[in-house]
Amino acid sequence: MSNSYEGMVPSVPYLKIDSTGEPYIAGSQCGKCGQIFFGERTICARCADRTSMQAMRLGETGKLYAYTVIHRSFPGVKTPFVAATVELDGGGVLKGTLLEVEPDPAKLAFDMPVRTVFRDSGQKDQDGRPYLNYYFVPAGA
């Protein structure tokens, strides 16, 4: 599996590729209040502690907390799609697009288990390198 993401550029700063070539969602945990954030940061937004933030990797499974089915978006964006808010197992809340489900509220359940996957987004940067992005899919998929 290693190096399969070689030459790809992470879509957002909190999506990282480690030295073995594996992608992950970077997070931070406050040592004082325990709050977990996505992305790297040094000061806690919850308790304002400046000294105890630790970098961590966020979990890759979680539950669907809330969602919406987008039927109209900005020009050029393909619809419909499911915009999701996921509570990750082990802490942290992440937004993302939920794939491999029907974009129909009747087919979506609160708390349905999902997992994070890393895929070529189909977009390229100005040097022609593909952007690597993260998505959610139903945990069974």
Partner 1 sequence: MNDIYVVGIDMIRFGRFPDRTPPQLAAEAALMALDDAGLSITDMQALYCGNLMQASNMVGQRLLREIGQTGIPVVNVANACATGATAFRDGWIAIRAGLYDMVLAVGVEQMGKGLLGGTDRGGFVTEGAIGSDTMPAMFAQIGLEHQRKYGTTFEQFAKVSVKNHHHSTLNPKAMYQVETPLEQVMASEMIAYPNTKLMCSVNVDGAAAAVIASEKAVRRLGLMDRAVRIRTSVMTSNPFAEREFAMPDFNAVTRLASKHAYEAAGIGPDEINLVELHDCFATAELVHYENLGLCGEGEAGRMIDSGETALGGRIPVNVSGGLLSKGHPLGATGIANIYEVATHLRGKAGARQVEGARLGMTHVVGGGPGMGSACAIHILEKV
Name which position in 46, 95, 107, 124 contacts Zn ion (CB under 5 A): 46
118 is a contact residue toward partner 1 (CB under 8 A): no
CB 32 to Zn ion: min, Å = 5
CB 113 to Zn ion: min, Å = 28
Question: Residue ranges of the alpha helices (H) in 19-132?
Answer: none
Considering only residues 9 through 28, tell me which ones interact with partner 1, judged by CB under 8 A: 11-12
Considering only residues 31 through 60, tell me which ones interact with partner 1, judged by CB under 8 A: 35, 37-39, 45-46
User: In sequence order, what are the residues at sequence separation of 6 or more whose Cβ sits closer than 8 angstroms to the Cβ of residue 20?
Assistant: 2
Name which position in 52, 97, 112, 137 contacts partner 1 (CB under 8 A): 97
Considering only residues 55 through 84, tell me which ones interact with partner 1, judged by CB under 8 A: 65-74, 77-79, 81, 83-84
- CA distances to 65, 71, 92, 109 from 24, rounded to whole Å, are 21, 30, 14, 26
According to DSSP, residue 51 is labeled: S
The alpha carbons of the chain give a radius of gyration, in whole angstroms, of: 16
Identify what 127 binds: Zn ion, partner 1, none; CB under 5 to 8 Å per kind: none
Between CA 137 and CA 62 the distance in angstroms is: 10
